[in-house]
Chains A and B, each alone.
Chain A
Amino acid sequence: MFPPRFAYEAPHSLDEAISLLHGGGDYVKVLAGGQSLVPLMKLRFASPDMLVDINNVPGLDYHRTDADGSLHIGALCRHADLEHSELLAGTQPTMASAAPKIADPLVRNRGTLVGSLCHADPQGDWASVMTALGGTVIAQGPRGKRAIPLAEFVTGPFQNVLEPDEIAIEAVVPPAKGTRAGGYLKLERRVGDFATVGVAVAIETSGDTVARAGIALTGVGGSTINATEAAAALAGKPLTAETIAAAAELAAAAAQPKTDHRGSAEYKRHMVSVFVKRILSAGNGTAAGTSTERAA
């Protein structure tokens, strides 16, 4: 209910933030949206010595497409910005499909996509979306900037590869090789629930052929599962009932679900397959998912 004590700084520049992380001691956390970190601290599952609040650092709240077609999402871009984004609605079907499904509308006003990636919750929705899109995280620290592909960014539950003095300043979605299609389906019993199963599918078609495909899974493993074999089964081929079925089966096989109060492992695996099929059969993420699905 109440967090333990900690030191707190609210820098006004990125350099200041990085230098605070650099000198901050053993356990320093960056505070952006706080919608994952603060609840953990209130339950005393996390007790950082210091929080570096980056909400006052200017110029981080953007999301934009660059000339080369890549999408850049700043560290302070909120889920709500993405939910209401006209840019995404037209060009990024998987992301547009996922944004309204993150938590609830109030949490979306504060929480950030980049923060969600860093938090590395195995139940995190954005991680699957960005993995399926082949995204990268841009980290900045005293030693400069680096780009870390999503598939390598998370090493386990709540663990990422950032150095203690690095801040994730941006997430990048590479330019599309073709026409984007796909979506994110999430089995949740009500708004704000964790995903029992979440499936992100992102494909790019060029003519009749799938030029690129990505499939990633939420909630069916120790962390986000990158279903590379399933995606590979789609790439270079036309999208047909057969290729879809094959991808669905491979995605289900890639899942490592546990039987728990949310359902049996068998059911969750089955749902992975169902969601893959529904997303790919409907086109741009308009597949009917669950009762919490908001019709476009």
Chain B
Amino acid sequence: MTSQALDEIKIGGLGSSRKRVEDDRFIRGRGNYTDDIVLPGMLHMEILRSPLPHARIKSIDASKAWEIPGVHLVLTGEMMATRNLAWMPTLSYDTQAVLATDKVRFQGQEVACVIADDPYIAKDACEAIEVDYEPLPVIVNPWQATADGAPVIRDDKVNQADNVVYNWEVGDRAGTDRAFEQADVISKLELHYPRSHPSPIECCGSIADFNRATSKLTVYMTTQAPHIIRAAVAMVAELPEQMIRIISPDIGGGFGNKVPVYPGYVCSILASILLERPVKWIEDKTGNLISTGFARDIYLKGEMALRRDGKILGVRMHTDADHGAFFSDAQPSKFKIGLMHSAFAAYDIPAAHLTARGLYTNKAPGGVAYRCSFRVTEAMFFQERMVQAAADDLGMDQAAFRRMNFVRDDDFPHRTPFGFLTDSGQYAKCLDVGLKAIDYENFREEQAAARQRGRLLGLGISTMTEPLGAGNSREYDILGIKMFDSAELKVHMTGKAILRTGAKTQGQGHETTWAQIVAHELGIPADDVVVEEGDTDTAPFGMGTYASRSTPVAGAAVAMVSRKIRAKARKLAAHLLEVSEEDVEWELGRFYVRSSPGRGVTIQECAMAAYSNMPDGMEPGLENTAYYDPPNLTWPFAVYIVTVEVDPETGVWDVLKMVAVDDCGVRINPMIVEGQIMGGLTEAYAMSSMQFITFDADGNCVGSNYMDYLLPTAWETPGYELHSEVVTPCPHHPIGAKGIGECAAVGGPAAFVNAVIDALTGTGVRNIDMPVLPDRVWEAITYRRDVSGAPPVRQDE
């Protein structure tokens, strides 16, 4: 680097914690969320939902609703059916009811909707619709689903004779069986990862605007994946794809909740087409929690074959996933249970086998959501809970057991027991950093001393590595569409630029971070690069933002398009400097003549030349697009360690300290990365301590509003100590980054649960299902037994 290279941090390149561009409008209250948008002539839609979880619809009488002044349209399933819109395809090759016709299949299912001048009137009219239901028996868990004589929930499907969605398996059954035969100790664990919900504060919504004069349908929508929506709408509404424009404006949190296609979107689109006016639908929190894409709700039977010295010989897992009434997950189509088979990727285990089954139940559809990276949250939770139990069963120290089974630094590339290829990591070093930060040795002494005085302290370790950046076109697709992503960069003549990608930020700060990649590659100050996402008319095709895929895929595309631009700029530089291209060198922001470094041109001068002084035969302009098909997934790694104190009398537990050691490769913006980690840790804390959706014996949803679905406030949420010392760049990513958005939500929950279980050492308790509520802890301590949280909720007779 010569003396004229720009200071990368000063221009907001990689590693700069530049302040966020997005903030300027949000702190002024000038965000542009879907519900903020007002179109002339706009009408408002409200949805009537089923109060019953499983019932035949005998009749729907909407006559009184039609009579209410201000009502323009009432839609029912019957009306949708005449237009072939009562059912729609899901992202998992199943079908989902838009508005119920024959039956309702979960409490909260959409039954009708009203479009009126004002949402208050629309709600009044919903109340006036009379539905006659005939209740049917209810299914709220997998064993009810598979019991003899269980009602078939999906009797709408030809060839569906039971409530099984799929059976799937992966791994080496024979090798695993052999491992178990050779085991000195077999450790077993069964648990339930409860139903949770991403619950961003902003609910889902759409404004559909069909313009009869232009035949164009514009839909403003809370979606993390506008291009997928455009394709889905083209299929479902049978409109030509070029006449559909999906605009995803500012989104108040996604976390996977805003990926699926929801009935409300479809109804608002049809209503707009019928009424030829914009129709706005904004759901309420109850609608969001009771009907939109939930997360988890999956049961594990896990076994580990162990050698006496602590070596893990093999792992067997069986999972039963409760999918609700429709199989509607957004996930790579090849893998029925998502990336569950990423479990144990960081451990050197010779053989593993996973069987997975999916069940229909009378609950909202979903399963893949909530910072889960396509079920990696479940995989890593199961993994770390099994590891905890195994270490205890062997009488080994938790840290030592993990360390001895980790993949070693020089074992990469490493083929995991389920067939993934991991490429980089320093697992033991992360563990060392974490143990030092939590003062592990001293803690164990303190813990022992406290136990003598009747105080229960506990320490929980959790590790995770995850396959981020879905994904390579050989193996990954959603509904057959490959999961590449894109970036389009247009450099203007004054050297400023506009960048658009196929991702869609919902708080991750893309407007800030993508510009940093451009600054890194081109030396254009990040402040000079404006970033836009979310409008399918202008953004290059991409598969959206979820599963932490943006930095690995779209971010890579940003780097690649910047390099394409730089390659052309190099030609322009050679032309301006009157040398051949081979004589031109690059330093940040500038091309110079190798033999005479003082002679150079800035990138801005090259930009101007692209419009005013091109060499003969060169196409003018300095704009390009890149589509990136990732060669492999990236594999960040983390260690999370928590210490807690449990009050044995009440079962209440408090966090004493939490330490997070995240190795996510190169960090584009350290401040933003830390924000993502803290957000994920808080969701981990929420799931482990208080937040869940469950069902009573009648199928009523418990947790369909914020009085029962508990998000922690600033008061309960612990503080976090974050560590960034360990950086293992991704060997194949253009800037060595790995992705971070979900890591803490993936790895965090087990740390909290393991800590409480550790505090209960000596009681024989091996498992308490999340959320680890005070009453469950008390029951475990008092009766010295495991506590399950599976639905139905225990109730008085």
Footprint of B on A, CB under 8 Å? 1-2, 4-5, 44, 104, 187, 189-194, 196, 258-265, 267-268, 270-271, 274, 288, 290-292, 294
Name 27 interchain pairs, CB-CB below 8 A, sorted by A.
A1-B284, A2-B123, A5-B124, A104-B713, A187-B650, A189-B716, A189-B773, A190-B711, A190-B712, A193-B707, A196-B774, A260-B795, A260-B796, A261-B696, A261-B708, A262-B773, A263-B774, A263-B775, A264-B779, A264-B794, A267-B779, A271-B650, A274-B649, A291-B652, A291-B653, A292-B716, A294-B715
Q: CB-CB < 8 A to A187: which residues of B?
A: 650, 652, 774
**Does the CB pair A259–B795 fall under 8 Å?**
yes
Footprint of A on B, CB under 8 Å? 119-120, 123-124, 127, 284, 647, 649-654, 689-690, 694, 696, 702, 707-708, 710-713, 715-716, 773-775, 778-779, 793-796
Complexed CA–CA distance, A196 and B774 (Å): 10
| Closest A residue to B282 using CB positions | A1
Complexed CA–CA distance, A190 and B793 (Å): 20
Q: CB-CB < 8 A to A267: which residues of B?
A: 651, 774-775, 778-779
CB distance from B348 to the nearest CB of A (A): 39
Complexed CA–CA distance, A262 and B778 (Å): 12
Which listed residue (B119, B650, B794) contacts A290, Cβ 8 A?
B650
Q: CB-CB < 8 A to B778: which residues of A?
A: 267, 270
Q: Which of A4, A191, A267, A274 has the most CB of B within 10 A?
A: A267
| Closest A residue to B647 using CB positions | A288
Chain A interface, >50% SS class: loop
Q: CB-CB < 8 A to A290: which residues of B?
A: 650, 652, 774
**Does the CB pair B794–A291 fall under 8 Å?**
no
Q: CB-CB < 8 A to B712: which residues of A?
A: 190
CB distance from B518 to the nearest CB of A (A): 42
**Does the CB pair A262–B795 fall under 8 Å?**
no
Q: CB-CB < 8 A to A190: which residues of B?
A: 690, 710-713, 715-716
CB distance from B391 to the nearest CB of A (A): 28
**Does the CB pair B650–A259 fall under 8 Å?**
no
Q: CB-CB < 8 A to B773: which residues of A?
A: 189, 262-263
CB distance from A243 to the nearest CB of B (A): 20
| Closest A residue to B122 using CB positions | A2
Complexed CA–CA distance, A274 and B590 (Å): 72
CB distance from B386 to the nearest CB of A (A): 27
Given contacts A191-B716, A193-B710, A291-B654, contact A261 B284 (CB under 8 A): no
**Does the CB pair B775–A264 fall under 8 Å?**
yes
**Does the CB pair A2–B119 fall under 8 Å?**
yes
Complexed CA–CA distance, A47 and B794 (Å): 32
Complexed CA–CA distance, A258 and B779 (Å): 16
| Closest B residue to A5 using CB positions | B124
Known: A189-B774, A190-B715, A270-B778. 9 other contacts (CB 8 A): A2-B123, A190-B711, A190-B713, A196-B775, A260-B793, A260-B794, A264-B779, A290-B774, A291-B653
**Does the CB pair B702–A261 fall under 8 Å?**
yes
Q: CB-CB < 8 A to A294: which residues of B?
A: 715
| Closest A residue to B653 using CB positions | A291
CB distance from A292 to the nearest CB of B (A): 6
Q: CB-CB < 8 A to B127: which residues of A?
A: 4, 44
**Does the CB pair A189–B715 fall under 8 Å?**
no
CB distance from A10 to the nearest CB of B (A): 20
CB distance from A289 to the nearest CB of B (A): 8
| Closest A residue to B776 using CB positions | A263
**Does the CB pair A192–B775 fall under 8 Å?**
no
CB distance from A210 to the nearest CB of B (A): 24
Complexed CA–CA distance, A294 and B714 (Å): 13
CB distance from B345 to the nearest CB of A (A): 34
Q: CB-CB < 8 A to A263: which residues of B?
A: 773-775
Complexed CA–CA distance, A140 and B694 (Å): 45
**Does the CB pair B707–A265 fall under 8 Å?**
no
Given contacts A4-B124, A189-B710, A194-B707, contact A259 B649 (CB under 8 A): no
| Closest A residue to B118 using CB positions | A2
Q: CB-CB < 8 A to B716: which residues of A?
A: 189-191, 291-292
Which listed residue (A2, A191, A262) contacts B713, Cβ 8 A?
A191
